[in-house]
Amino acid sequence: MSIQKLPRRISKEASPPGTFPEPEREPLGPPASGRAKGTRAFTDPPVRARVRLRVWRYGRALLSLVVGIGVWQGVSIFLPSDVASPIEVVRVLIQDLKDGVLLTNTLYSLTRVLVGFFSGLALAVPSAFILRSARWLRDIVDPWIQFARMIPPIALIPLVIVFFGIGELAKISVIFFAVYFIGMVTVYQGIRMIEVVQINAARVLGADGMRLFRKVILPASLPAILTAARLGIATGWTTLVASELIAASHGLGFMITQAGQYFDLPTIYLGIMVIGIIGLALDRVILRLERRLVAWADVVDDQGQTAVMTSLQRR
């Protein structure tokens, strides 16, 4: 009775006497064809598929924009006394661009918002770190912080006029007030979510003092700081119209308020659209910066929305 020998892949080199030949092993890493035998290759989608996906995404956004403008035009036909048509808004846009009125008002408003935003965020971040490190100070000022952040900025306009007058400082201070509190609370909550295990592990490895702050605490709190920046810029733009009620002679909020006195609907719609477009553009800039700096934290998802941090999910 003959026993059929099973085929076996052996090495091409001759084995020394008294030893068994070692079977050939598959090389490590993905094969040249991009797919291992019996397994599915986990590789990035082809360039063509990614381009097609991006085209579909932009196509849907463009379709939504076209449909929205069409609905707007249809509503303006049935309600001409309440809704300005897109054609009228474009006509006013062209006229204001020729006169330079729109550009001047936009620059004034953008300057006020950016100054209030950066000054508020620059003070909010160190305030959050101080409150996190000093529990006794947090116990003292926390009730006042919770009280102050519940006050709408527009309610402070009379007091702002009393303390700062009607100049640019008064308008910027209203935006600063709105940005500071939301930024400080957001950053503080982000610092609280830092894992204690990370800090203890860094201390075991010798990190202490400023090195612990620079290497562990600050990078771990960077997602919260960028989230506070996104919330702060949105809050600053929503407070813009209220701040420009303080005896302003230029600005988008002033342009909308003045047009409202004369029932100039196309100018009102134009001012609202410019505020929304600039605010969206600034938000996209911060979001792009967030994706570049804290991609490791998976803070943003594929749809460009803020996701929950991994540390929050674990808690």
The model's pLDDT over 283-300, given as tens digits with 9 standing for 90+, comes to 888 888 888 877 666 543
Residue 18 has pLDDT above 70, yes or no: no
Q: What is the pLDDT of residues 21-38, one digit of tens each?
A: 555 554 444 444 444 444
Q: Residue range 48-76: average pLDDT?
A: 82
Q: Which residue has the higher pLDDT, 113 or 308?
A: 113
Q: For the purposes of burial, counting CB atoms within 10 Å of the CB of 310, is it exposed (0-12), middle (13-18) or buried (19 or more)?
A: middle
Indicate if the pLDDT at residue 118 is higher than 90. yes
Cα distance between residue 73 and residue 86, in whole Å: 6
Task: State the average pLDDT for the chain.
Answer: 76
* Between 94 and 200, residue with greater pLDDT: 94
Amino acid letter, residue 94 = I
* Residue whose pair of structure tokens reads 């209030």 in the numeric block: 116
Closest CA to 229 of 262, 293, 182: 182
Of residues 198 and 117, which shows the higher confidence score? 117
Q: What is the pLDDT of residue 1?
A: 47
Q: Which of 24-28, 120-124, 210-214 has the lowest mean pLDDT?
A: 24-28
- How many Å apart are CA 2 and CA 157, to the nearest integer? 102
pLDDT the model gives residue 41: 44
CATH class of the domain defined by 84-314: mainly alpha
- Residue 96's pLDDT band (cuts 50, 70, 90): confident
**What is the rounded distance in angstroms from the CA atom of residue 149 to the CA atom of residue 180?**
9
Token pair 């309440």 in the structure block, residue: 82
> What does the domain layout of the chain look like in residue ranges?
47-82, 84-314
Average pLDDT over residues 113-137: 88
Per-residue pLDDT, 298: 53
Q: Which of 120, 282, 260 is nearest to 186 (CA)?
A: 120
Q: Which one-letter DSSP state was computed for residue 67?
A: H
Counting beta carbons within 10 angstroms of the beta carbon of residue 264, is it exposed (0 to 12), middle (13 to 18) or buried (19 or more)? middle
Whether residue 111 has pLDDT greater than 80: yes
Alpha carbons 234 and 275: distance in angstroms, whole number = 10
| CA–CA distance, 172 with 110 (Å, rounded to integer) | 11
pLDDT confidence band for 122 (50 / 70 / 90): very high
